[in-house]
């Protein structure tokens, strides 16, 4: 139970809180806490208080309060209320820290929420940039989601994901079925560009951020395309995570086939097979990988449909970008 004058240090999310009024003192009418610093990470995301009115009064510094699609900048002495059920974000403005007096009415379980965040901050449940690690996020949704939760995705989706994550934690020591974490995809489409130009594009890892957007965030290579060339890549899909891999070209047969073996967050092979057709090139991409990142591997049996959706979205971006890029590229000799 919080005490008046108690300080809650939460450095990963950029703030410390000083308790001014507790629910016990006000008979559950409200809780009041001074928030000092620059909120970041999950505390700065859009969120909803289902049954509480939140009042912000700026003591010093500046504060940005975003309600829906409208942004307000509050100066010292100014205050604003957020009605129950309203998606909002509170952010520092200006260069220095802000000092904001926050009042939650009625008190609800906000003290438990604050104690939980302070505890996971001390015990390593937050990343350095202020985001809850999966297990800590799942327990937050489970304990407090009916009162306070992120604005997106919808609360039922958050609860379902939380149940999956906590279930995976409980079963982490159990033996998995063979190949439960393996993903295999085959995608084919036609490109109205010469086979050599298409080959030069897909064989050169450094081109990927230019045409496979916004999937590939970084892609570098230690030399020109060929057997043994090493590439380092970072990419994403629609799901909220990034993946890093190191790839080595193991087959290089221009202008027909290029294959690489990968390790890192994923381990396996990717093979591009190109076949000339009238007016262009038929493209086939075989992607067979094992999930190596521990949490994603444990979730694979349950979230396999989500991973397939993620892959389908990513390949659709490749289909959009490959043809125009290859058409604008000068084929190699």
8 A C-beta contact, residue 93 and residue 76: no
**pLDDT mean over 235-244:** 87
Provide the token pair at 253. Answer: 């047969």
Mean predicted confidence (pLDDT) in 287-316: 80
pLDDT for 300 equals 65
Sign of the torsion formed by the C-alpha atoms of 301, 306, 312 and 314: negative
Residues in the chain: 333
- The per-residue pLDDT for 293 is 79
Q: Thinking of the domain 7-170, which architecture would CATH place it in?
A: Sandwich (2.60)
pTM listed for this prediction: 0.54
pLDDT of residue 167: 67
Residue 170, C-beta contacts closer than 8 angstroms, at least 6 positions apart: none
Token digits for 268?
A: 């396996």
**pLDDT over 70 (residue 329):** no
Of the ranges 142-146, 269-273, 328-332, which one carries the lowest mean pLDDT score?
328-332
In this prediction, residue 333 has a pLDDT band, given cuts at 50, 70 and 90, of very low
What pLDDT is recorded for position 305? Answer: 76
Predicted confidence (pLDDT) at residue 118 exceeds the cutoff of 50 = yes
Place of tokens 């609800």: 108
Report, as an integer, the average pLDDT of 319-323: 94
* Cα 10 from chain centroid (whole Å): 21
pLDDT for the residue 92 = 84
d(CA 144, CA 117): 11
Express each pLDDT in 19-35 by its tens digit.
Answer: 999 999 999 999 999 99
In the block, tokens 């006000």 appear at 26
260 and 270 Cβ atoms separated by less than 8 Å = yes
pLDDT band at 230 (very low <50, low <70, confident <90, very high): very high
Please give the structure tokens belonging to residue 159. 């609860």
User: Which runs of E-coded beta strand occur in 29-69?
Assistant: 31-37, 47-49, 53-60, 62-67
End-to-end CA gap in the chain: 74
DSSP state of 130: S
The reported pLDDT for the residue numbered 32 is 96
Average pLDDT in the 276-289 region?
92
Q: Please give the average per-residue pLDDT across 59-74, as a whole number.
A: 93
CA distance 298 to 145: 24
User: Residue 50 in contact with residue 29, Cβ under 8 Å?
Assistant: no
**pLDDT for 129-146, tens place per residue?**
899 988 889 889 988 999
Q: In the predicted model, what is the mean pLDDT of residues 155-182?
A: 64
pLDDT in tens, 39-58: 999 999 999 999 999 999 99
Neighbours of 75 (CB within 10 A): 12
What is the spatial distance between Cα 209 and Cα 222, in angstroms, rounded to a whole number?
16
Residues of the chain with pLDDT > 90, as a percent, come to 66
pLDDT above 80: residue 255: yes
Residues 6+ apart with CB under 8 A from 115: 2, 8
C-alpha to C-alpha distance for 245 and 179, rounded to whole angstroms = 20
Give every CB contact of residue 250 below 8 A, 6+ residues apart in sequence: 227, 259, 260, 261, 269
Q: In sequence order, what DSSP letters do the residues of 250-284 get, joined into one string?
A: EEEETTTEEEEEEEESEEEEEEEEEEEETTEEEEE
Give the residue carrying structure tokens 């989706």. 157
The pLDDT tens digits of the residues spanning 67-109 come to 988 999 999 999 999 999 999 999 888 888 999 999 999 999 8
State the chain's mean pLDDT as an integer: 88
Q: What is the pLDDT of residue 301?
A: 65
What per-residue confidence (pLDDT) applies to 182?
73
The token duo for 23 is: 């629910």
Which superfamily does CATH assign the domain made up of 182-327 to?
START domain (3.30.530.20)
Q: What is the pLDDT of residue 160?
A: 84
Whether 237 shows a pLDDT value over 70: the answer reads yes
Task: Quote helix, strand, coil % in the chain, to nearest 5.
Answer: 30, 40, 30
Q: Where are the domains of the chain?
A: 7-170, 182-327
Which residue is associated with the tokens 């002495």? 77
């Amino acid at each position: 139970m919080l005490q008046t004058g108690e300080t809650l240090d939460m450095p990963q999310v950029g703030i410390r809180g000083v308790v001014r009024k507790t629910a016990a003192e006000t008979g559950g009418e409200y809780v009041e806490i001074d928030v000092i610093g620059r909120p970041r990470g999950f505390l700065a995301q859009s969120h909803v208080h289902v049954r509480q009115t939140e009042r912000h009064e700026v003591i010093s510094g500046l504060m940005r309060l975003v309600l829906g699609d409208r942004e307000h900048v509050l100066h010292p002495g100014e205050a604003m209320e957020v009605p129950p059920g309203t998606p909002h974000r509170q952010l520092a403005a200006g260069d220095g820290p802000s000092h904001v007096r926050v009042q939650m009415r009625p008190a609800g379980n906000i003290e438990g929420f604050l104690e939980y965040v302070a505890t996971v901050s001390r015990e390593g449940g937050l990343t350095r940039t202020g985001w809850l690690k999966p297990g800590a996020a799942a327990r937050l949704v489970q304990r407090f989601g009916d009162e306070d939760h992120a604005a997106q995705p919808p609360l039922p989706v958050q609860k379902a994901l939380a149940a999956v994550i906590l279930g995976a934690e409980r079963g982490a020591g159990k033996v998995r079925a063979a190949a439960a974490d393996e993903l295999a995809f085959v995608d084919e489409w036609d490109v109205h560009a010469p086979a050599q130009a298409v080959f030069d594009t897909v064989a050169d890892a450094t081109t990927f951020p230019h045409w496979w957007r916004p999937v590939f965030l970084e892609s570098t290579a230690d030399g020109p395309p060929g057997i043994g060339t090493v590439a380092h890549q970072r990419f994403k899909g629609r799901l909220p995570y990034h993946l890093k891999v190191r790839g080595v070209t193991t087959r290089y047969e221009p202008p027909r086939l290029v294959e690489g073996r990968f390790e890192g967050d994923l381990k396996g092979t990717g093979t591009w097979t190109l076949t000339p057709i009238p007016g262009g090139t038929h493209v086939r991409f075989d992607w067979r990988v094992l999930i190596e990142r521990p949490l994603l591997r444990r979730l694979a049996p349950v979230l396999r449909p989500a991973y397939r959706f993620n892959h389908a979205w990513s390949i659709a971006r490749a289909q959009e970008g490959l043809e125009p890029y290859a058409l604008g590229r000068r084929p190699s000799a």
